[in-house]
């Protein structure tokens, strides 16, 4: 591989990681900004909604605790691809839970999303650190900034559609499905595994 093609592959890896911080921010803001409306739709008290939201914390901590083993066993590329796909699945479960007005199912969807992004975040940071070493340049803070950028884009774009019925439409989380093809086309197959 020539120096030019190596540099291009490195840039593609970098932008793929930017995308994988942007997408979770976009997905999170899809429902987080509607929490009061979701609580009303599920007919929950504030305390009961807190219990439902605890599913996100349980999932996130589980994903983070398992992430080191997953990265060591499967490598960053497979972990990122799989967990980001499951994060989108979690958002689809959230949409289904709102359609059928099921609080337990909504908590389960939050747990799936939390576990997926918890594992993905660690793998992304491991890969980001590797890219920093190869580029001899600090890029991780910019990657983390893309998460905030994703939430900002979703909030700005959702001002005109913040209705309770729109909270349950699969169209919101489905937008994150672009993450899989982004990974498939932007992330080189030769990316090394981290052991």
The answer to whether residue 3 is domain-embedded is no
CATH classification of the domain holding 91: 1.20.1250.20
The answer to whether residue 82 is domain-embedded is yes
- pLDDT, residue 2, reads 60
- pLDDT, residue 80, reads 93
Q: Which two tokens stand for residue 111?
A: 């747990």
Contact 24, 182 (CB under 8 A): no
The answer to whether residue 70 is domain-embedded is yes
Return per-residue pLDDT of the chain as tens, 195 residues: 567 778 888 888 889 999 988 988 888 887 787 889 999 999 999 999 999 999 999 999 999 999 999 999 999 999 999 998 999 899 899 999 999 999 999 999 999 999 999 999 999 999 999 999 988 888 889 988 998 898 888 777 655 445 444 444 434 444 444 444 444 444 444 444 444
The answer to whether residue 2 is domain-embedded is no
The answer to whether residue 194 is domain-embedded is no
Q: Which two tokens stand for residue 59?
A: 């999932």
Which residues make Cβ contacts (< 8 Å) with residue 63, sequence separation at least 6?
A: 83, 114, 115, 116, 117, 118, 119, 120, 122
- pLDDT, residue 26, reads 85
- Domain containing residue 72: 8-186
Contact 94, 109 (CB under 8 A): yes
Give the separation between CA 95 and CA 112, rounded to whole angstroms: 13
- pLDDT, residue 66, reads 95
Handedness of CA 190, 191, 192, 195 (dihedral sign): negative
Give the separation between CA 164 and CA 34, rounded to whole angstroms: 8
The answer to whether residue 176 is domain-embedded is yes
Contact 180, 13 (CB under 8 A): no
- pLDDT, residue 94, reads 93
- pLDDT, residue 164, reads 43
Structurally, the chain folds into a number of domains equal to: 1
- Residue 99 DSSP class: H
The answer to whether residue 178 is domain-embedded is yes
Of the candidates 105, 73, 65, 69, the residue with the CA atom closest to the CA atom of residue 89 = 105
Give the side-chain half-sphere CA count within 13 A for 109. Answer: 24
pTM (2 d.p.): 0.74
- pLDDT, residue 157, reads 62
Give the separation between CA 68 and CA 194, rounded to whole angstroms: 10
């Amino acid at each position: 591989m020539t120096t030019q093609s190596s540099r291009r592959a490195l840039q593609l890896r970098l932008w793929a990681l930017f995308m994988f911080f942007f997408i979770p921010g976009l997905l999170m803001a899809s429902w987080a900004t509607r929490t009061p409306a979701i609580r009303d739709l599920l007919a929950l008290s504030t305390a009961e909604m807190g219990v439902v939201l605890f599913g996100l914390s349980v999932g996130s901590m589980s994903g983070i605790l398992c992430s080191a083993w997953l990265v060591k066993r499967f490598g960053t590329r497979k972990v990122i691809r799989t967990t980001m796909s499951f994060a989108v699945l979690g958002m689809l479960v959230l949409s289904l839970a709102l359609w059928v007005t099921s609080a337990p199912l909504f908590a389960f969807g939050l747990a799936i999303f939390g576990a997926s992004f918890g594992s993905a975040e660690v793998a992304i940071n491991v890969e980001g650190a590797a890219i920093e070493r190869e580029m001899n340049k600090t890029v991780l803070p910019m990657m983390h900034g893309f998460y905030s950028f994703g939430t900002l884009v979703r909030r700005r774009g959702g001002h005109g559609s913040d209705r309770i019925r729109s909270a349950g439409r699969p169209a919101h989380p489905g937008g994150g499905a672009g993450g899989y093809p982004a990974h498939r086309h932007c992330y080189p197959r030769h990316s090394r595994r981290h052991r």
